Structure 1
Amino acid sequence: MFKASIAWALLALLWALPAQSQTNPGNDTANGWIVESYAGYNILHNLIAQTSYALVPQGPVFTNITGNVPQIQVPITSAAIDTLDILGFAELLSSNVTSSFTTGSSNILLANTSPCFTMSNNATATYTFANGTSTANNTIVFSANDPSLTPIQKASWLIYLAYFYNEERAAQLTVLNIMSQYNCIKTRVNSGVKEKYAIAWTQADMTTPQVYEIRVDTYAKTLIADAAAKMIAPNSAQDSTYSNVGNFHLALKGADMLLDTSPLSEGELWPQWLSIMNMVPGASLFYESEGYYKNRKVYRADGLVSKTGYSNFPERYAARPDLALMDMIAIQYPTFQNTYNTTWLYNFALGSSPQSFPANYVCNNAYVMLTNQISCYLDEPFTPPATQAAPTNETETDDGGSNSSSGDQSSSLSSGSKAGIAIGVIAGVAALGGAAFWFYRRRPTAEPSHNFYKMDEI
């Protein structure tokens, strides 16, 4: 708890340093959005959807804003939701944000898993948050689900959302903390793992005829690489979807584990999944010798569900890349953090069951939500235990960099930017140490009681 408190204190002090020494996790074109600040207002640009919004204070209308840019008075007080993933971001902001989400489309109201919202079919709203490229009046496009974004880039959309509520400074601090946790986890596991497991991310689309897919998008590739694993996927010159099940099975050759997100009907278990995938036990086909099949290492991402059975993963995965990465590591190395129980992933092949939301789930408290699940310290190197089974397959990975990590985007910085960041960090080291000591001395003598949830070990 002490180390977690210091981490937040250091981030707060970094926030107070001059702007030129700060690492801004939001205003980067690679994230898919940027903001321009003017006297009295901001213009927020969604680069993915190619839309812009002028965010002005409540009351006045600015006549000097040129172009076809709608003016939105902030903070927004009522909004409708037509994109599920925005709810996972809103939870990390204040109750002013979650309470402003008054209604949603029918599928959103049905699939919402979070207890932090009280949306109604009958409520009205001034604006609607949606994905895609909608140009309808009073529609705000939220593009965190774009497949070209890395896990860290998706997380930056918390700041984009916060601009509509004047909470961007708090959001930036939260994103910095998520980035810090993510990069600590990534560094620690990659520094200690020498022999990498091979993971494929699969999905069967329930169509006629049946179509099978192996994910190759930027998010999946980056997450698997950052978890110190190899990705089983076709190369950039090959198709990632298969109508021929034999070709699909052949493309999975070498996989130690599968992460599957095929839509299943209620009550469909491992035998039904094998049937959907056309993997018939005893057929003596080559997949029976593959690690994922013979060792029953098939995982699903719907391990946290609402009372009505809807998965929380589509709602919150983009907002919490640190949890997604921890899950991916935990299924490979349960000893990486002994206190961590997976949030979304569970071993479907061994008959593990999804968990329901706990009654004490935390809303609108980023500090609690970020510090009660992950404990990562770079001064505690991770080495897989000698008793752990080694990867079972020799694999060939794709040519798109699935063996290299791009989650922190540091390679895209210019040398001048890197120098500026380095100077700012060096200049603040002494002050950081003093602030940490001060924070420790002034902390409450009794630890506060934090609500958090834990799921069954895989």
Structure 2
Amino acid sequence: MLFASSALFALAVLAEGAAAAIARNCTTNYNAGANVDYFVAQKAAAASIPSGSNVAITYPAAGNYKIVEDKISNSSYVLYQCGTTMPTTNLPANLAGVFEIPVQAIITTSTTELTFLELLDARSTIMYTTDKGLITSPCILKAALPALADRSGTLTTDETAAWTAATAATNLTIVGAFDTVTPSATNRDVKFPATGDQSATLARADWLYFLAAFYNQEPLAKSLVDQITTSYNCISTAAKSSAATLGSPDAYWASGFGGVMYPGANYVKTYLASAGGTASQVGAMDTGAAFNASYNISVASDVTSLDTVLKNSELFFTDAVSSLDAWFGWTGLKTTDISTYNVTRAGQIWSADKQSSALGTGSGWFNGAVVNLHVVLADIASVVQPGLFGSSYTRTYFRNIAQGEKMVTVAASQCADVNAASTLPAITCPSAITSKSVAGVVDWTGAGEPAYQYPGGAGRTVGASLALAVMGALVASMLAI
């Protein structure tokens, strides 16, 4: 619990450092009638935002303000350059707030926006954030920012006082996609729904532009988006070309809560296709109902359908299960079923929780994966097309729970310099696999070594020695649980 007095003290200390790190460059001698364009470079960079994006930035002729739109929440924010006059006319109908920029001190209520802000060199403007146990950014942890109570719950008197003090002393609050917007001063919350953007995989990177606008960092956002896009497309080209040689495995992706298994969101299908894979379908030989079905293990007909999906899947991806034991409980399967299903027999069950917080339950998947699209694709492609990156590649977000791969904890000690700007992780673009004899590859078309035939998806095989070895490892793993 954070009391109001401690909140104000912490803010006073932190704000001094933030002001030094983020240059204001406020306008002097402002003449409202001159219509000077204060955002020339920013406007040029934002012109790269696709028309179909859920983010839009417009720069009115007055020149001293811009309008940032979040199309998911149907909210617009007017941002005016410090040293100029706040606009009061011709404002958008869906106006959600007016802010002087660049902002100097903010509150964040969730973890997704943290990686975006770090990439935009705005870490120093974060004055308060969420529960440290949910954070997997070493430098955010090292900054030791005071945490405010979860805004999606009921606040105590002291917690409400802390929020009141914090909001009075900061410029705005970035509100996570699943957080509420109270208590707060009127029109000072900025919704950040990046995790809910289902339009397309690469479109999620456009939320860099959204936050960048509050710091006049649109040129940096463009540079980051260009790097992500170039890396993503290069990896995808190599993976799809490899699939032309080796075939495409069927992969099922699911999230689950309360005993119900939900299919992965639309963007994950794009990930699978970009990695040279195919989203699993229901029915023999991948025919029948769509990938979108949900399964409740308490419903007999759902168990039957799920049984078919798993028999038709070579790979299983999830962001919701932390162990093989939990996976069996979640799907309703038994350890005696190991030899029945492709994904268990071949040991291909992947969880996106490899990065975990040293202080709690936080996962790097919910912290950094939303913006590091190229890294996520590289992880998935390394599973879908083994051998593409070689044995030296280390996955960032995914671990194989069927084969007992452990989590990797993230701690403040891993931050070398809390004041240093973050950079995008670099992924070396692989060359396409053009031969089935390359070390580490899996021939999804069925050719090659003596084979152990999968029961579903005819023609897809895996070496018999590999299948038997994996089955042995699975049984040993289950006995150890």
How many Å separate the matches in 2 of 1:366 and 1:26?
24
The residue correspondences of 1:313-352 to structure 2 (distance < 5 A) are 313-338=365-390, 339-352=392-405
SS at match of 1:192: helix
Q: Deviations over 1:248-268 (max 9, x none)?
A: 22233311011122255xxxx
**Shift of the alpha carbon at 1:88?**
1.8
Q: Deviations over 1:383-425 (max 9, x none)?
A: 36426333346549xxxxxxxxxxxxxxxxxxxxxxxxxxxxx
Q: 1:132 to 1:174 in 2, by over 3 A?
A: closer
The residue correspondences of 1:375-454 to structure 2 (distance < 5 A) are 375-376=428-429, 380-383=431-434, 385-386=436-437, 388-391=441-444, 392=454, 395=457
Tell me which amino acid in the other structure corresponds to 1:50: N
Q: What is the number of residues matched between the two proteins? A: 358
Which residue matches 1:74?
A: 101
Tell me which amino acid in the other structure corresponds to 1:120: P
* Residue 151 of structure 2 is aligned to residue 101 of structure 1: no
In terms of Rg, which structure is larger? Answer: 2
Contact 2:263–2:293 (8 Å) recurs in 1: no
Unpaired segments of 5 or more residues in structure 1? 1-17, 397-458
The residue correspondences of 1:44-193 to structure 2 (distance < 5 A) are 44-59=68-83, 60-67=85-92, 69=95, 70-94=97-121, 97-105=122-130, 108-117=131-140, 118=143, 119-121=145-147, 124=166, 125-132=170-177, 137-193=187-243
Q: 1:252 to 1:24 in 2, by over 3 A?
A: farther
Unpaired segments of 5 or more residues in structure 2? 1-39, 148-161, 283-288, 445-453, 459-481
SS at match of 2:425: helix
How many Å separate the matches in 1 of 2:45 and 2:310?
40
Which residue matches 1:214?
A: 263
Q: 1:187 to 1:389 in 2, by over 3 A?
A: closer
Tell me which amino acid in the other structure corresponds to 1:112: I
Q: Which moved more, 1:305-314 or 1:242-251?
A: 242-251
Which residue matches 1:31?
A: 53
**Shift of the alpha carbon at 1:27?**
2.3
How many Å separate the matches in 2 of 1:40 and 1:145?
31
Contact 1:35–1:45 (8 Å) recurs in 2: yes
Q: Deviations over 1:138-176 (max 9, x none)?
A: 011112112523221001111111111111101111110
How many Å separate the matches in 1 of 2:108 and 2:243?
42
Which of the numbers 364, 368, 390 marks the counterpart of 1:312?
Answer: 364
SS at match of 2:335: coil
* Bigger RCO (CA 8 Å, 6+ sep): 1
Q: Which moved more, 1:231-240 or 1:221-230?
A: 231-240
Q: 1:236 to 1:193 in 2, by over 3 A?
A: closer
Q: Deviations over 1:340-371 (max 9, x none)?
A: 21001111111110112374457787785333
SS at match of 2:424: helix
Contact 1:92–1:365 (8 Å) recurs in 2: no
Contact 2:54–2:197 (8 Å) recurs in 1: no
How many Å separate the matches in 2 of 1:172 and 1:239?
37
Contact 2:310–2:343 (8 Å) recurs in 1: no
Contact 2:118–2:422 (8 Å) recurs in 1: no
Contact 1:26–1:160 (8 Å) recurs in 2: no
Contact 1:154–1:318 (8 Å) recurs in 2: yes
SS at match of 1:55: strand
* Residue 277 of structure 2 is aligned to residue 229 of structure 1: yes
**Shift of the alpha carbon at 1:26?**
5.0
Which residue matches 2:477?
A: none
How many Å separate the matches in 1 of 2:311 and 2:342?
9
* Residue 425 of structure 2 is aligned to residue 370 of structure 1: yes
How many Å separate the matches in 1 of 2:191 and 2:64?
23
Q: 1:109 to 1:31 in 2, by over 3 A?
A: farther
Q: Deviations over 1:4-54 (max 9, x none)?
A: xxxxxxxxxxxxxx99xx996852242201111121211111111111011
How many Å separate the matches in 2 of 1:340 and 1:145?
27
SS at match of 2:208: helix
**Shift of the alpha carbon at 1:84?**
2.1
SS at match of 1:42: strand
Q: Which moved more, 1:250-259 or 1:123-132?
A: 123-132
TM-score (norm 2): 0.67
How many Å separate the matches in 2 of 1:328 and 1:113?
21
Tell me which amino acid in the other structure corresponds to 2:128: T
**Shift of the alpha carbon at 1:328?**
0.1
